Structure 1
Amino acid sequence: MPLRADEIPASVRAIISAGTVIPAHPLALTADRTLDERRQRALTRYYIDAGVGGLAVGVHTTQFAIRDVGLYEPVLSLAREEAAAWTDRPLALVAGLAGRTEQACREADIAVGLGYHAGLLSLAALKGADEDALVAHCESVAERIPLFGFYLQTAVGGLPLSESFWRRFASIPNVVGIKIAPFHRYRTLDVVRGVALAGAEDRVTLYTGNDDHIVADLLTPFDVRRGEETVRIRIKGGLLGHWSVWTKSAVEIFERCRAAAGTDTVPADLLALDSAVTDMNAAVFDVENDFHGVIAGCHEVLRRQGLLEGIWCLDPAEGLGPGQAEKLTRVAADHPGLVDDSFVAANLSRWLG
């Protein structure tokens, strides 16, 4: 049964439109690369207790290859089930959608059937398609589930997408948000302008996926000329792989940014956090090695905290990049206020119980 945006529970719609912290949920595996259900549940519990407003499951950080090994529906189901059992507060549940139109629609149907509220639509499988074909694909999937657009960076398989595309995408009635993750300031502006020119700023909520520029994205007002008026738009939330680690601290930073965003003066120490968080992200995402260890880096932080047993990925070739472990040690020592090790240590046995 298709889901329309106005059918999302009002409490969840309010969370999405106000902006919130949505971590991209990793995949917990055993040494033989099968699902570690106990630790997968522990991760969900961790994020909820850290204070997130939603979960994104089946996305890049969960590993797109879950589709190839029959784990897409089980992993989405596990997160939905655990969220409902662990808390009675509303959470925005976002399912990753990938592949060509038939596959993406099938995944949308699965997500709706499991109780997810929106789909984060990857366009990576449509490389070479023209703008009309991309928009038609998005329209087809939006008939099944409310959508978050996803501007995935080209370094990990994303497509360059124009301002015109984002204007047309934002005009699709069942679009509720866009994750802006090109890691590119010019392309970030293309999304903002596209939404403004579509007149969709009150319906389509912008989320930063620019893990290299998180704090500044949340603090920056974007002014766009639309005819005779100037429209001010803000990025209100974040849907981030980086927020799958040190999540308690991420929630605290987000709340500080939200409180400051509406004021005339942003404290210098809050602005300074932008470069500090980016420094940490460079280690987590293995920027020096062209993002080779982008998923393994998240796993390594969680392994060190005891949430994961190892850093295994579905692809045995995926692991930490040269020097990445040392960089993770360095940034955690340089920015002790941005980690949440004590919070995890105090709750780990309960989450694993």
Structure 2
Amino acid sequence: CSEAELIRRTEAISAVLPVCGFYLQPSVGGRRLSFAFWRELAELPGVKAIKIAPFNRYQTLDVVRAVCESSRRDDIALYTGNDDNIVADLLTVYQCRTAAGEMVEKRIVGGLLGHWAVWTSKAVELLEEIIALRESGAPIPSELLTRGIRITDANAAFFDAANGFKGCLPGIHEVLRRQGLLAGRWCLDPEEELSPGQIEEIDRVYRAYPDLNDDPFVQAGLQQWLGQ
């Protein structure tokens, strides 16, 4: 449907319950949406948050700029869904000059990320570290930016970026299977499987970044969580 129709439908839903907008990349079922769409959406009183997940810097900026231009800029929380840019999204202060000439700053407050379905205790530690750093006002350490690239590399293996994200669900399931949290990597679609070479990529990032996984944490709690 058209962007105008999407706004109309969202307005009807938001009159009944709070809405979180979701900008999803086209390669996994989303669609390109304009700055004008997000600008109009941000004015709807029932819209409380937006998850930005186009995996694209320009389209991410469209959403941030639209919210900054909105009269409801302070009422809308922004979350990153850009699994390829997690750390930088969380660290960045976005500055936008509005059409009225006002300089507005906006931060992404957290993440709604498929990547955080695995190695999750490390993700919690990362978010807490970034929030503490932001609140302290201290300079951003270069190590954290480097770690962000390492996380992106791991995400490329889990999400199967090399094959247009076709293996993203079985990739996540494979990590959970290795940890004992799932019995297998099956998906609702029985034909949905790892792409050729993907399991080798998952092996590679496990070897390359042992400090990013939370296998010891999972093993310590696994029996309790599974009721064994």
Question: TM-score band (shorter)?
Answer: over 0.9
C-alpha distance after superposition, 1:160-189 (max 9, x if no partner):
011111111111111111000000000000
Give the 3-state SS of the residue equivalent to 2:149 in structure 1. Answer: helix
Q: Write the distance in 1 (CA, Å) between the matches of 2:166 and 2:4.
A: 32
* Deviation at residue 261 of structure 1 after TM alignment: 2.5
Instruction: Give the equivalent residue in structure 2 for 1:239.
Output: 112
Alignment partner for residue 181 of structure 1, among 53, 61, 69?
Answer: 53
Instruction: Give the equivalent residue in structure 2 for 1:163.
Output: 35
Which amino acid is 2:122 matched to? S
Instruction: Give the equivalent residue in structure 2 for 1:7.
Output: none
Instruction: Give the equivalent residue in structure 2 for 1:276.
Output: 150
Contact 1:178–1:207 at 8 Å: present in 2 too? yes
Instruction: Give the equivalent residue in structure 2 for 1:312.
Output: 186
Alignment partner for residue 257 of structure 1, among 121, 130, 145?
Answer: 130
Q: Write the distance in 2 (CA, Å) between the matches of 1:161 and 1:229.
A: 25
- Work out whether 1:148 is the aligned partner of 2:16: no
Give the 3-state SS of the residue equivalent to 1:194 in structure 2. Answer: helix
- Work out whether 1:298 is the aligned partner of 2:184: no
- Work out whether 1:135 is the aligned partner of 2:12: no
Q: Write the distance in 1 (CA, Å) between the matches of 2:188 and 2:132.
A: 40
Contact 1:170–1:204 at 8 Å: present in 2 too? yes
RMSD of equivalent CA atoms: 1.0
Which amino acid is 2:112 matched to? L
Contact 1:220–1:261 at 8 Å: present in 2 too? no
Q: Write the distance in 2 (CA, Å) between the matches of 1:305 and 1:166.
A: 40
C-alpha distance after superposition, 1:90-148 (max 9, x if no partner):
xxxxxxxxxxxxxxxxxxxxxxxxxxxxxxxxxxxxxxx22211100111221222111
* Deviation at residue 264 of structure 1 after TM alignment: 4.7
User: Could you tell me the percent identity over the aligned residues?
Assistant: 53
- Matched ranges for 1:333-344 at <5 A: 333-344=207-218
Give the 3-state SS of the residue equivalent to 1:343 in structure 2. Answer: helix
Give the 3-state SS of the residue equivalent to 2:75 in structure 1. Answer: coil
- Matched ranges for 1:1-353 at <5 A: 129-226=1-98, 227-262=100-135, 263-353=137-227
Give the 3-state SS of the residue equivalent to 2:112 in structure 1. Answer: strand
Q: Which has the higher contact order (CA 8 A, sep 6+)?
A: 1
Q: Write the distance in 1 (CA, Å) between the matches of 2:115 and 2:13.
A: 27
Give the 3-state SS of the residue equivalent to 1:266 in structure 2. Answer: coil
C-alpha distance after superposition, 1:283-325 (max 9, x if no partner):
0100111111111111000000000000111111111111111
Q: Write the distance in 2 (CA, Å) between the matches of 1:170 and 1:316.
A: 39
Which amino acid is 1:241 matched to? G
Give the 3-state SS of the residue equivalent to 1:224 in structure 2. Answer: strand
Give the 3-state SS of the residue equivalent to 2:55 in structure 1. Answer: coil
Q: Write the distance in 2 (CA, Å) between the matches of 1:338 and 1:344.
A: 13
Q: Write the distance in 1 (CA, Å) between the matches of 2:212 and 2:186.
A: 25
4+ residue runs over 4 A deviation: none
Give ranges in structure 1 of 5+ residues lacking alignment.
1-128
Q: Write the distance in 1 (CA, Å) between the matches of 2:71 and 2:214.
A: 40
Q: Write the distance in 2 (CA, Å) between the matches of 1:294 and 1:144.
A: 33
Instruction: Give the equivalent residue in structure 2 for 1:101.
Output: none
* Deviation at residue 248 of structure 1 after TM alignment: 0.2
Give ranges in structure 2 of 5+ residues lacking alignment.
none
